[in-house]
Amino acid sequence: MLESRPKAVLAFLSIINLVNYCDRGVIPGAPIQFGSFVSCTLGVAASQQSVYVGLSVSAFVVCYAIASPICGQLVLSQPAFRILGIGLSIWVAALLLSGLAYFAGDAPGAFLLFLAGRALSGVGEAAFQCIVPPYVEDFAPAAYKGLCLALFYTAIPVGTAIGYEFGALLAEGPGWGWAFLLEAAAMAPFAALAFRLPPASALSARPAAAASLLAAA
């Protein structure tokens, strides 16, 4: 059971965080291919490609900024892991939309599908980033809170670096759409399991569980 495996819970959450930031690196990792996608679907000149590529990034950031305080407020009245599971499920759906936009080819609605996917990604990631850091801090032993949070946050630069290369390799190979579809396939089981995460008190209150986490240091 996860209640007695805090190291597994920390690894579980860190992997999700890594893929969160890997996802953010896909578009910057393949600027030429995304620019071509914009030109093919919207018929804009090459000089205008960056405007629409930037719009997709802005859609993510704006929706992330709007959803963050909403998710933060919801945890006061709703079970945190229900919100987390729903948020991750929205994120998986958003990844599917982003990936399917690639396979829509030069259809006029392909860019709008992609834009919707990036916007929903911001909503899904906001739920995760609002809920998980306080959760990690709550279940970690007092002497190792900093270490546990450091391990969790290490996923940010590592995931971003992986995302650049991941996006570039797939864009040059089978196509950038596969980057989002592979992320969705990898994260779908994590979204399902998020609904079943134990309360922080269940992890920190058990001596055996605390000893298990301390052994990771």
How far apart are alpha carbons 86 and 93 in whole angstroms?
11
pLDDT at residue number 112:
95
Within 10 angstroms of residue 129's Cβ, the number of other Cβ atoms is 16
pLDDT at residue number 80:
84
How far apart are alpha carbons 113 and 201 in whole angstroms?
41
- Band (199; pLDDT cuts 50, 70, 90): confident
pLDDT at residue number 214:
38
pLDDT at residue number 216:
41
* Mean pLDDT along residues 22-50: 93
Report how far apart, in Å, the C-alpha atoms of 49 and of each of 43, 45, 71, 100, 116 are. Answer: 10, 7, 33, 20, 18
Q: Which of 160, 152, 118 minimizes the C-alpha distance to 132?
A: 152
Alpha helices in the chain (DSSP H): 6-29, 31-42, 49-74, 80-103, 110-139, 145-172, 177-194, 200-204, 207-214
Lowest mean pLDDT across 103-107, 134-138, 189-193, 196-200:
196-200
- Band (200; pLDDT cuts 50, 70, 90): low
Q: Mind listing the pLDDT tens digit for each residue in 131-170?
A: 898 888 887 877 888 888 999 999 999 999 999 999 999 9
Helix axes 80-103, 6-29, angle to 10 degrees: 30
- Band (198; pLDDT cuts 50, 70, 90): confident
Q: For residues 8 and 210, which has the higher predicted lDDT (pLDDT)?
A: 8
pLDDT at residue number 4:
53
pLDDT at residue number 57:
94
**Would the pLDDT of 2 be above 80?**
no
Q: Mind listing the pLDDT tens digit for each residue in 79-108?
A: 888 899 999 999 999 999 999 999 998 887
